[in-house]
Amino acid sequence: MAKKETAPYKIYLTENELPTSWYNLRADMKTKPAPLLHPGTLQPLKFEDMQPIFCDELIKQELDNETQFIPIPEPVMDFYKMYRPSPLVHAEFLEKLLDTPAKIYYKFEGNNTSGSHKLNSAIAQAYYAKAQGLKGVTTETGAGQWGTALSMACSYFDLDCKVYMVKVSYEQKPFRREVMRTYGANVTPSPSMDTEVGRRINAEHPGTTGSLGCAISEAVEVAVSTPGYRYELGSVLNQVLLHQSIIGLETKAACDKYGIVPDIIIGCAGGGSNLGGLIAPFMGEKLRGEKDYRIIAVEPASCPSFTRGKYVYDFADTGKVCPMAKMYTLGHDFIPSANHAGGLRYHGMSPVLSELYHEGLMEARSYEQTAVFDAAVQFARVEGILPAPESAHAIKGAIDEALKCKETGEEKIIIFGLTGTGYFDLVAYQKYNDGEMSDYIPTDEDLAKGFASIPDIGL
Amino acid sequence: MAKKETAPYKIYLTENELPTSWYNLRADMKTKPAPLLHPGTLQPLKFEDMQPIFCDELIKQELDNETQFIPIPEPVMDFYKMYRPSPLVHAEFLEKLLDTPAKIYYKFEGNNTSGSHKLNSAIAQAYYAKAQGLKGVTTETGAGQWGTALSMACSYFDLDCKVYMVKVSYEQKPFRREVMRTYGANVTPSPSMDTEVGRRINAEHPGTTGSLGCAISEAVEVAVSTPGYRYELGSVLNQVLLHQSIIGLETKAACDKYGIVPDIIIGCAGGGSNLGGLIAPFMGEKLRGEKDYRIIAVEPASCPSFTRGKYVYDFADTGKVCPMAKMYTLGHDFIPSANHAGGLRYHGMSPVLSELYHEGLMEARSYEQTAVFDAAVQFARVEGILPAPESAHAIKGAIDEALKCKETGEEKIIIFGLTGTGYFDLVAYQKYNDGEMSDYIPTDEDLAKGFASIPDIGL
């Protein structure tokens, strides 16, 4: 191999080096991820089953386990260039602080107004809705990252965007709400009185502050019952991982350009959209037997779907309006302890990643949140970026691996995903700064309650 | 001239194209900016006069009207590479929206955790404090951009950072406060009971929510009375414009690389740090008679120091603890109407820019804030970045010029400075979204009250 140029501190690919197709990891998986099941019939969902809910082209992508590369439509490429490529940064200030022989790089996805990688799939999903001639889309949002991303994407394509925002977040995170409104979205606190399911939940639980499961149910009901609308989702689904492969493809291209060959790739894992995207082309090489990498998923100890969950069919949502997915799950009734700050609170995990983990192709570990915020602040002070609490899980994982290298003297190359910024998570940082942050690891009894909600369908 | 490569949507200079010196515009000014005066003696401030307040090297820069280029110290260059170069972006989506033949570019300084260009001078000032062996620095902050930038810079160099934050902001902008605390700064609501001036103001005005003038007084008192501390300021001063020249130098280098020759350069103007930095090398060419550019300062109609102020000596701060500066001023007692959102609320203007404006080398105009927020939202929805209210003044200026081109059919090239993001300004956006934003143009009587506070020293 020809000697490569020395990599700069931040690697930005040039426009003609940018990926022009998404990479569909499923095409290279020997065992495909288990299909979504219809909860009534327990049969794999077919195109027609999903059509009332999702855009046609997105259903095709959801079901396509064969096509390796799917071209990125021109209008999506146009939008990508507004905030992509994202930089692959050599974290030399962090290396110096840790005094480690390891080389640490991070792919930073936070330099856009949605503040995270969510925009990569939001713009694709909005595009396909527009291309299908739809009038608008619905979705739910908890903390607001996905809702913000979809609002921005819909604004760009002049689509209506109805966001059901978990009521407690709507009230406690007014700034996220205002960003969405600024981009023209209609943001409704959930449960609302606009939907049947919302009215029912409000009647059954007066004064409830809502949940993601309930917000999903409302968004799906509105999508299905409003002509010209569909529902869009920001994680877990195969189509989302497909779009997020742009993260990994850019990372791989930057590595190849400068001859960087990672030993370890680390990402935080909630529903799996970022991790699945980051690792896609690397995992592809691993699946095809071309190269080997250690791949590590990092999750919160308070929501440990990989490390303590079961690999079975479960409902994708608390409200049981969505299909069933085979995945690592804590049970659809599982809710992380109230002291858990930030995202990564989904009870399950992407079916693609679940299958790969099940086959032993990747590792997983969990951290308690105080340790995660320690890592976040350590990173922020030397690398200058205030990370999202979710991203800080990956930072903590990278720091731990770099410190192991310090002990062994190994010069391993570590890449981690810095998914977003923490500008809207300052209530959590304040708790940390005030010494009021606490940890909670669910007991086996806590987990047993969640597991009890998993339907026994013998799969 | 050889034909240049076509510019990409975003121009990022490579590491070896980055400026390695700051450009001191004063060296090319025939009439130098008027010196700061000692308020007691009315004599120009000398090095020794400033030594108790500012770092030695920064005083030298403040007084140096001759050296054209000042090398950027290596540790500052190291820090710059974490968030610089900032991109020069071709706003083609905005052009399309406006249907204008004009070409619009913006230099985006918001991609860092401080959210603005303020970091460019903060890291320089922190470096010189560290190099002088100081223990820490003090400053004041209103909305919090400068305080955040200085906190980040001090954290990097392991310096103490004491920030006096206007009490009303401390209470209403807790998120900015938490970012500063996360970077290890000590943030005190001002007026506090820690300082003589704070105790006096609290006694005279029980329950006061503070002002920038009062916070400056506290920060200066603490700097002067604490061994090993100095005071640092984020705008207005010559040294700040020097450091901010990095904005203009990068812009110029990007333009030269791709053969872009701007006709009009537009920046928002509060104290002048961004505008002075952006225009520096272009104004230098203009001063040396090499090229001509239209340069436009945009300010809020509610704080119109250029467009309605007087060019005289005035106190630099409301509390009259700082020296006097010859500048366009509304009088140091002038306070913008309570409905004014965002920054750009300083009563005066950088002496460098004031002299240039006085000589007719640049233009100025003012806009009311509702029109500015209209422009902000228009821009956000097509270009994807939620701008700071301050930066939106420049957007409005650029849109207006581009619309003029639409009328005349001229293909003018417009460059404007997008100084920062609006992630911490969502209370203002909420007001706008709710239709509750109002405008207020000070009457001549309002201005007369401010003018009355200007000391009559016959200069």
User: What single string gives the DSSP state of each residue in A233-276?
Assistant: -SSSSHHHHHHHHHHHHHHHHHHHHHT---SEEEEE-SSSHHHH
Position B6 scores a pLDDT of 81
* Residues A273 and A175 grouped into a single domain: no
Structure-block tokens of residue B262:
């701007």
Any domain includes A6: no
Q: How many residues does chain A have?
A: 459
- What distances in angstroms separate CA A47 from CA A60, A251, A413, B119, one per listed residue? 7, 33, 42, 52
B4 — pLDDT class (breaks 50, 70, 90)? low
Position A2 scores a pLDDT of 47
**Residue A320: which domain range?**
79-115+237-451
Q: Which of B179, B204, B231 is the last residue of a domain?
A: B231
* Residues A220 and A343 grouped into a single domain: no
Position A96 scores a pLDDT of 97
Q: Which of B180, B210, B231 is the last residue of a domain?
A: B231
Any domain includes A401: yes
Domain count, chain B: 2
* Residues B274 and B343 grouped into a single domain: yes
Q: How far apart are CA A145 and CA A180, in angstroms?
A: 10
* Residues A385 and A241 grouped into a single domain: yes
Any domain includes B360: yes
Any domain includes A4: no
Written as tens digits, the pLDDT of chain A (459 aa) is 444 678 889 999 998 899 999 999 999 999 999 999 998 899 999 999 999 999 999 999 999 999 999 999 999 999 999 999 999 999 999 999 999 999 999 999 999 999 999 999 999 999 999 999 999 999 999 889 999 999 999 999 999 999 999 898 888 888 999 999 999 999 999 999 999 989 998 998 898 888 887 898 899 999 999 999 999 999 999 999 999 999 999 999 999 999 999 999 999 999 999 999 999 999 999 999 999 999 999 999 999 999 999 999 999 877 787 889 999 999 988 888 888 877 888 899 999 999 999 999 999 999 999 999 999 999 999 999 999 999 999 999 999 999 999 999 999 999 999 999 999 999 999 999 999 999 999 999 999 999 999 998 877
Residue type, B27: A
Position A4 scores a pLDDT of 61
* Residues B103 and B122 grouped into a single domain: no
* Residues B62 and B210 grouped into a single domain: yes
Structure-block tokens of residue A128:
């396909």
Any domain includes A456: no
Asked whether the beta carbons of A433 and B182 are under 8 A apart, the reply is: yes
Interface test mutation site (partner A, options B178, B373, B391, B431, max chain A beta carbons within 10 A): B178
Task: Indicate the pTM of the whole model.
Answer: 0.95
* Residues B87 and B64 grouped into a single domain: no
Position B333 scores a pLDDT of 86
B1 — pLDDT class (breaks 50, 70, 90)? very low
DSSP string, B245-294: HHHHHHHHHHHHHHT---SEEEEE-SSSHHHHHHHHHHHHHHHTTS---E
Any domain includes B458: no
* Residues B99 and B163 grouped into a single domain: no
B97 touches chain A (CB under 8 A): no
Of the candidates A81, A111, A426, the beta carbon closest to that of B111 is on: A111
Q: How far apart are CA B33 and CA B326, in angstroms?
A: 8
Position B112 scores a pLDDT of 95
Least confident among B169-173, B327-331, B356-360:
B169-173
CATH number of A50's domain? 3.40.50.1100
Interface test mutation site (partner B, options A175, A373, A378, A391, max chain B beta carbons within 10 A): A175
* Residues B147 and B186 grouped into a single domain: yes
Higher pLDDT, A3 or B26: B26
* Residues A419 and A327 grouped into a single domain: yes
- pLDDT more than 70, % of chain B: 99
Position A37 scores a pLDDT of 95
Q: Which of A162, A197, A231 is the last residue of a domain?
A: A231
* Residues B188 and B278 grouped into a single domain: no
Tens digit of pLDDT for each residue in B256-311? Answer: 999 999 999 999 999 999 999 999 999 999 999 999 999 999 999 999 999 999 99
Tens digit of pLDDT for each residue in B52-83? Answer: 999 999 999 999 999 999 999 999 999 999 99
Contacts (Cβ under 8 Å, ≥6 apart) of A218: A140, A164, A188, A190, A191, A192, A194, A195, A197, A198
Interface test mutation site (partner A, options B97, B119, B423, max chain A beta carbons within 10 A): B423
A184 touches chain B (CB under 8 A): yes
Q: How far apart are CA A448 and CA A309, in angstroms?
A: 10
B448 touches chain A (CB under 8 A): no
User: Judged by CB atoms within 8 Å, which residues 385-444 of A form the interface with B?
Assistant: 385-386, 421, 423-424, 426, 429-430, 432-433
B230 — pLDDT class (breaks 50, 70, 90)? very high
State how far residue A374 is from chain B, nearest Cα, in angstroms: 11
Any domain includes A14: no
> Chain B partners of A187 at a C-beta cutoff of 8 Å?
none
B2 — pLDDT class (breaks 50, 70, 90)? very low
* Residues B284 and B422 grouped into a single domain: yes
Any domain includes A13: no
